[in-house]
Structures are given as C-alpha cells and as structure tokens.
C-alpha cells in the first residue's frame, strides 16, 4: 500500500509539473486564482459512421487513418450498445471545419456522437432508444440545454450530409431534444426574411444551396441533392417562421 501511494504521489507530481507551466501566457504576470472549472461542452453533434460495422468504426475512431486521425466521444452500435472513446472533458476530433452560429470551433465546444449507420438505411429502434438515454445523461451531467443538439451537416453543410434524411429528428424533438417548430405552421408575415432566419438559427450563410439542403434534411426529412435551386419554398418559410417564434 505504502509503495503504491508513493508511486502515485510521484506520478501526480510529475504530471503536475508537466502541465503546470504550459498554460501560462508569457506576456502576463502569473497570479493564480482558484476560481475555475474544466471547460464543459455546450452543444451535442450527431453523425452517422457511413461504415458497415461498429467494429470497423471502433478501429477508425481509435487509430491513425490514412485520411487523418478522427474520433468521437461516443459510438452507438445498431444493437444500441454505447461505447465511449474520449472523456467528456476532452476535445474529440469529429466536427472538422464549420460553424454553428457564434460557435466557430465545434470540436472545442461539443460532444460528438457517432451512430453506426451506412447512410442509406433507417436507424434501428434500439439505437434511437440508446441515443435518447445518452442525451438524457449528457444534458443532465454536463448541464447542456436540451435544445442544443444538431447534426454534422448543420454545422458543415458544404462538406457533410450526416446524420442524413433518415434521422428521426421529430422523435428526438418529441423527447425534448433539438430544435423543432413548437406550434402549428402558418405563413409568415410579408417581408419575412427566411435567410436571416437561417442565420439566426445557426446556419452559416456561405453557400445557400448547401444550407438549404442541410435544412431540408433536418426539418423535412428529404435530401434534394447538391444541385438543388437555392430558393425557399412556402413550407421552408413556414418552418423557419415557427422556429424563430421560440428563443
């Protein structure tokens, strides 16, 4: 026992000295305050793996790939089994370049959840049930507002289409997660600016066709492809108007 305690103490001292110097800024005088916490994530990002098996995804997310190292905090198999690969307090590498409103570094601000799905099939019942349990756990433990759940394509519409048009956003919303129109849809008043509403929700205005495709996958369950005409139709406007009615 005594030896273990000594070894532990030595390891702790080593770890402390290893990281105690790094975070200080050389242009400032260091006068430490004890009033701080570890940074917590403020949003949850959902992905599909676009792979054939959970084992294949476990390998990809835990190794050095030819395409660069990637990871996520969680991976949910099609049987509903949940794996955790990265601690909640750490920054996993799942989001890549993109932004969601004022959040400009999604990896730093988020929890990433990969769902075992090849991108062409419906999500399994066991998987969605497990996801809802995990969202309940994360939003409770990490105090993330339940509305703060988005898809990878929402933050990176020009690059990504996951979790895709098969993802049951309405069901998540029924359980209290994510954004969804909270009242019966009605036509917005004249002059309603749908693209400004898009920006207000969080969509980056860089590429309207890509944004509209991501929006329709999320809120209308349809993929109009990369060549769609970037014009909002009456249903888009009704949904956007309803979404702007809640904070």
Contacts by residues 82-90 (CB-CB < 8 Å, ≥ 24 positions apart): 82/130, 82/134, 83/54, 83/58, 85/58, 85/61, 88/40, 88/41, 88/138, 88/141, 88/142, 89/38, 89/39, 89/40
Q: Exposure pattern of 28-50 as b/e (b: 16+ CB <10 Å)?
A: eeeeeeeeeeeeebebbbbbbbb
Q: Would you call 114 a catalytic residue per the annotation?
A: yes
**Dist. CA 213–CA 206, nearest whole Å:** 13
Q: How far is the CB of 46 from other proteins (least distance, A)?
A: 16
Beta strands 74-76 and 82-84 are: antiparallel
Q: How far is the CB of 21 from other proteins (least distance, A)?
A: 10
Q: Which is nearer to other proteins, 28 or 184 (CB)?
A: 28
CA distance 42 to 142: 8
Instruction: Provide the minimum distance between the beta carbon of 81 and other proteins in the complex, in angstroms, as a whole number.
Output: 7
Give the residue with the Cβ less far from other proteins, 65 or 121.
Answer: 65
Nearer to other proteins, 1 or 21 (CB): 21
The residue annotated as part of the active site, out of 114, 121, 125, 227, is 114
Shortest spacing between CB 223 and other proteins, in angstroms? 24
Output 191 or 225, the one with its CB closest to other proteins.
191
Enumerate the active-site residues.
Answer: 114
């Amino acid at each position: 026992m005594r030896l273990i305690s000594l070894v532990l103490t030595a390891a702790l001292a080593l770890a402390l000295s290893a990281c105690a110097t790094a975070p200080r800024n050389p242009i400032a005088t260091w006068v430490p305050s004890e009033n701080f916490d570890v940074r917590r994530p403020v949003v949850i990002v959902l992905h599909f793996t676009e792979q054939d098996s959970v084992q294949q995804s476990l390998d990809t997310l835990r190794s050095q790939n030819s395409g660069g190292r990637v990871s996520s905090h969680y991976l949910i198999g099609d049987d509903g089994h949940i794996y955790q690969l990265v601690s909640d307090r750490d920054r996993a590498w799942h989001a890549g370049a993109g932004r969601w409103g004022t959040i400009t570094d999604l990896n730093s601000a988020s929890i990433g959840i990969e769902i075992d799905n090849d991108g062409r099939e419906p999500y399994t019942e066991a998987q969605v049930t497990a996801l809802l349990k995990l969202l309940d756990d994360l939003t409770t433990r990490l105090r993330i507002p339940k509305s703060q759940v988005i898809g990878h394509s929402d933050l990176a519409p020009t690059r990504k289409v996951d979790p895709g048009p098969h993802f049951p956003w309405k069901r998540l919303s029924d359980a209290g997660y994510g954004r969804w129109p909270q009242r019966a849809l009605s036509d917005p008043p004249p002059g309603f600016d749908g693209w400004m509403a898009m920006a207000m929700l969080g969509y980056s205005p860089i590429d309207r066709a890509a944004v509209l495709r991501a929006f329709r996958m999320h809120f209308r369950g349809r993929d109009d492809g990369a060549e769609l005409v970037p014009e909002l139709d009456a249903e888009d406007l009704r949904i956007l108007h309803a979404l702007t009615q809640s904070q």
